[in-house]
Amino acid sequence: MNSVKIEKEEFQQRIEKIQHSLERHGLDAMIVYGDEYRKENLRYVANFWPIFERGACFIPRKGAPILAGAPEGEKYAREMTWLEDVRNIKEFACVSVPEEIEYPLAQFSSLSDIIREVSGGGTKVGLVGYWDIPGPIYNRMKDAVGGGELSDASAILAELRLIKSEAEIACLREAGRQACLGYEKLIETCIPGTTEVQAAGAAEGVARSEGAEDINFTVFGSGKRCDTVIGRATHKVIRDGDMIMAAMAVQYEGYVATVEYPFVAGKESDTQRDFLRVLFEAAEVQYGYLRNGCPAGEMVKAVSEVFKKYDMQQYDVYPPLHGIGLAEAESPYPDKDADYLLKSGMCVNSDISLFGHPHGSNRIEEGFVIRDNGPESLTPAIRERIRKGV
């Protein structure tokens, strides 16, 4: 049984930091919205991940937060969250049907009453999840603030989530371990005659059996389907000599590690081998830049230079690195013009890709923690394969 997790004390510290930020920004309260798909911010403050329903954490400038959800998930919410005050509001009930469902045994609180309670009569409320929340619910929240102001406060949480604690890093390391074991099974299963779905299922099963709470996605393409950039596994049969483009995002305690290693099923050709070596070389060059104090844009340029050396820059479709944490992709997400510095405690995922080249399309994804003297690998099995492939 895995014992790595975020303890209650760390959640309490997060709330204290948020409350200091509310004071600094002149906000009376914060609403952190989440649902089954946009779960990361709600998980960060309340350790709650809704199923079917919606949820929000209402954080006052002073005092204890309130978690609001819906009746079907109330017991589940109480089981999962560290917060003691858990309530139901009708706006957060089942999201997939247009009918209004009766819950005769449920006790409901009013959305407007909760907002008035946490704002303490104040008029300035920050909202995290502005781009995720449905319009009708946003409008009801805005109405509940009355003549006050409901503003986008996402930047407050984005800043707090940028540098990971050692407990968060431990969760990502465990997710990475599970992902690596699953990916080894994927490589083993990708033999001529197997379908994409069978290979993906074998990998996901291993990760689940190792303790993964979710597989956020498995991107899969074989042969010509590698050109899709992203795509799901199909019933296509893998053939001898098919390039395999497969990425698996594994979630543990909310934290997501993604792995992807480009390879060929069966016998690889000389041109395929040469193509893959360019990706491996770019990954090794990037590795040398993943340290505290390195300008993020310089790392992006260094990867691009590898592709230019082999006249492949036209197949480089997006920046080669993004942050990881409670979301599979989060800040930082630098491009060549990024002038900020990589900092110790940032957790990142490489995303080194070439798509549309005549000899193949693929990418590399591996996780790292930025440290003072260089990167710590969160997915060492993938790191080892890449080193051997250069």
Q: Which of left, alpha, beta for 65 (phi over 0: left; psi -120 to 50: alpha)?
A: beta
With vertex at residue 113, the alpha carbon angle to CA 109 and CA 114, rounded to the nearest 5 degrees, is 75
Are 144 and 182 members of one domain?
A: no
Tokens found for residue 100: 């209004």
Range of the domain at 107: 8-161
Kindly state whether residue 2 falls inside one of the protein's structural domains.
Answer: no
Averaged pLDDT, groups of 10, the chain, 390 residues long:
88 98 97 95 98 95 96 95 96 78 87 94 93 90 88 96 98 98 98 98 98 98 96 98 98 98 97 97 98 97 98 96 97 96 98 96 98 96 91
| pLDDT computed for residue 144 by the predictor | 87
Q: What is the DSSP letter of 360?
A: E
Residues 301, 321: contact at Cβ < 8 Å? no
Are 350 and 258 members of one domain?
A: yes
> What SS3 string covers 45-113?
HHCCCCCCCEEEEEEECCCCCEEEECHHHHHHHHHHCCCCCEEECHHHCCCCCCCCCCCCCCCCCCHHH
Are 227 and 94 members of one domain?
A: no
Are 194 and 157 members of one domain?
A: no
**Rounded to an integer, what is the distance from CA 181 to the centroid of its chain?**
19
Kindly state whether residue 299 falls inside one of the protein's structural domains.
Answer: yes
Are 184 and 310 members of one domain?
A: yes
Residue that terminates a domain, selected from 144, 161, 178:
161
| pLDDT computed for residue 370 by the predictor | 98
SS3 category, 7: coil
- Residue with tokens 């209402």, as numbered in its chain: 58
Q: 8-25 vs 154-162: helix axis angle to the nearest 10?
A: 130
Are 13 and 150 members of one domain?
A: yes
Kindly state whether residue 3 falls inside one of the protein's structural domains.
Answer: no
- Whole-angstrom distance, CA of residue 346 vs CA of residue 336: 18
* Residue 184: CATH number of its domain: 3.90.230.10
Are 35 and 16 members of one domain?
A: yes
Q: What is the DSSP letter of 226?
A: G
Number of structural domains found in the chain: 2
Residue that terminates a domain, selected from 161, 182, 201:
161
Residue that terminates a domain, selected from 161, 188, 222:
161
Kindly state whether residue 40 falls inside one of the protein's structural domains.
Answer: yes
Kindly state whether residue 214 falls inside one of the protein's structural domains.
Answer: yes
| pLDDT computed for residue 390 by the predictor | 63
Tokens found for residue 349: 């995922």
Q: Using alpha carbons, select from 288, 220, 307 the residue that is nearest to residue 259.
A: 220
Are 150 and 59 members of one domain?
A: yes
User: What totals of helices (H) and strands (E) does the chain contain, helices first?
Assistant: 11, 16
Are 305 and 271 members of one domain?
A: yes
Contacts of 33 (CB under 8 A, 6+ apart): 41, 42, 54, 55, 56, 127, 128, 129, 132, 133, 137
Are 236 and 271 members of one domain?
A: yes
With vertex at residue 182, the alpha carbon angle to CA 324 and CA 279, rounded to the nearest 5 degrees, is 60
pTM of the model: 0.96
Are 228 and 185 members of one domain?
A: yes
* Residue 140: CATH number of its domain: 3.40.350.10
| pLDDT computed for residue 303 by the predictor | 98
Are 154 and 170 members of one domain?
A: no
| pLDDT computed for residue 1 by the predictor | 52
